[in-house]
């Protein structure tokens, strides 16, 4: 199209704080973002609504949703009937693999992103994994990302034909406060974003799950007012 | 449970000739199979019915279906509105990447199998890719399978804790005729299996798509009577 020579990049978007920041970074890097949200039977379907609002607010022209029903796989508090933990002491948050871990989730999400990248002729995929996450989630570690890139190039027609796929995880190594500061500089409106594992019917955050605790602390440490809508008393 | 100390293995099952043979091989290797069928918006939903019949006939106790809606990704004659080619000359079948290629399909299927393997505590995954396929499909090549194993071990909690995931592709290097002969020896009833890309409303095979042509030729070359139900005149 006339006036648009931008290269495309696929951005995995959940509508959360991290992936929304990554979307702003992909745009700042000069890419035309093709956003992919994965609906995987997560309890908090409010995420998808937020993802859609984020794409509208940020001028994304191509937003796609892939639905994957993981209930028959199970194994996570986010897809099965396991209670989401609340009010855990802060020093527990960064140790061990949380029960909200979804087995092989990032391998799955990146595989979906890879298929889409091949279809839209993008070679770059953005994913919002970060330092706080990868202390607990194995599939947030840089060595996983590198192994995925190797596999991706061998997995695809585009790879056979010479494309080398690159997975960018620009939040890797950043704290939540770093991410918020970077996003604010890029003009991200965090009031649209959603992080809570256990929101109420109106999509208000519980304020007490691990994800809420990390998010709240991030705003505090960044010195940025927290625009999140929390349930009363949280 | 008493009397059952078998190790589990996840078997990707489509209800087709290849994956049904692989299921028989996994059982012969001494595993308790956990079968995973992926419903990905393929035109031929008859596959899933066949997969279920196969698991029932072969005494599989654990059969799971994951639904992935790939229509918003597109890019394949199997998920989009592209015509399935018919009556191609045989010498074209093994050249180039077919339009029935689904972008990054095996990366996606194996990622789903990996998540399930982690949940059921299996370290072995069986997949029915074979020599005829990998001339055309990049994600059927042994080097892809090896790269996936590397990634899998880094992607998972189980991998962090010491499990090394193994992807077995026992049909790799076998022709269709070899596969049929091996399956017949293991007692596989191929009348239950389905291969056609474009079956009619009753699930009868068209006899003319690439998959039917390869299957028919396989039975001929194996010297085994073809039990497939074809549409009239095919």
- Residue A230 inside a domain? The answer is no
Residue A111 in any domain: the answer is yes
A172-198 mean pLDDT: 91
Query: Does residue A3 lie in a domain region?
Result: no
Sites in chain B below the pLDDT cut of 70 = 1-4, 41-45, 75-86, 88-101, 131-136
| A96 has a chain B CB within 8 A of its CB | no
Cross-strand bridge partners of residue B12: B36
Q: Is residue A174 part of a domain?
A: yes
Binding residues of B for ATP: 13-23
Per the structure, the count of domains in chain B is: 1
Among B52, B73, B102, B127, the residue to mutate for chain A (most A Cβ within 10 A): B73
In the predicted model, is pLDDT for residue A22 greater than 80?
A: yes
Report which of B210, B88, B99 is spatially closest to residue A119, judged by C-alpha positions: B99
Is the CB of B154 less than 8 angstroms away from the CB of A141? yes
Could you tell me how many CB contacts below 8 A there are between chain A and chain B? 152
Question: Sorting pLDDT into bands at 50, 70 and 90, what band is A2?
Answer: very low
pLDDT for B85 = 63
A130 Cα to chain B: minimum distance (Å) = 15
Q: According to the model, what pLDDT value does residue A10 have? A: 97
In the sheet that A166-168 helps form, which strands lie side by side, from edge to edge?
A166-168, A124-126, A8-12, A32-39, A62-69, B62-69, B32-39, B8-12, B124-126, B166-168
ipTM of the complex: 0.85
Strand ranges (E), A6-86: 8-12, 32-39, 62-69
Contact yes or no for B138 and A160 at CB 8 A: yes
Say which CATH number the domain at A168 has: 3.40.50.620
pTM: 0.87
Q: What is the pLDDT of residues A76-122, one digit of tens each?
A: 655 555 566 667 665 555 555 555 567 888 999 999 999 999 999 99
Range of the domain at A141: 8-222
Nearest to A150 among B67, B103, B150 (CB): B150
**What's the pLDDT at A75?**
65
* Residue B230 in domain: no
- Tell me, yes or no, whether A234 lies in a domain: no
Closest Cα partner for A57 from A192, A230, A172?
A192
Residue A164's CB is within 10 A of a number of other CB atoms, namely 11
Question: Quick check: is A215 in a domain?
Answer: yes
Q: Are A156 and B139 an interchain contact pair (Cβ–Cβ within 8 Å)?
A: yes
């Amino acid at each position: 199209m006339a006036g648009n020579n931008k290269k495309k990049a696929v951005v995995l978007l959940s509508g959360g704080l991290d992936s929304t920041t990554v979307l702003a970074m992909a745009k700042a890097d000069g890419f035309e973002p093709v956003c992919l949200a994965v609906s995987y039977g997560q309890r908090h379907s409010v995420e998808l609504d937020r993802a859609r609002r984020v794409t509208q607010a940020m001028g994304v022209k191509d937003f796609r949703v892939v639905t994957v029903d993981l209930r028959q796989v199970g194994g996570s508090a986010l897809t099965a009937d396991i209670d989401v933990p609340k009010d855990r002491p802060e020093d527990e948050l960064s140790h061990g693999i949380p029960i909200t871990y979804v087995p092989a989730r990032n391998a799955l999400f990146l595989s979906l992103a890879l298929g889409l990248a091949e279809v839209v002729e993008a070679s770059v995929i953005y994913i919002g994994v970060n330092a706080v996450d990868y202390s607990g989630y194995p599939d947030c570690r840089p060595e996983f990302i590198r192994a995925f890139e190797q596999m991706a190039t061998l997995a695809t027609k585009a790879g056979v034909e010479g494309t080398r796929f690159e997975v960018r995880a620009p939040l890797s190594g950043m704290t939540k406060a770093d991410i918020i500061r970077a996003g604010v500089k890029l003009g991200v409106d965090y009031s649209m974003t959603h992080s809570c594992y256990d929101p109420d019917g109106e999509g208000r955050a519980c304020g007490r799950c691990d994800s809420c605790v990390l998010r709240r602390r991030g705003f505090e440490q960044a010195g940025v007012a927290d625009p999140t809508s929390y349930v009363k008393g949280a």
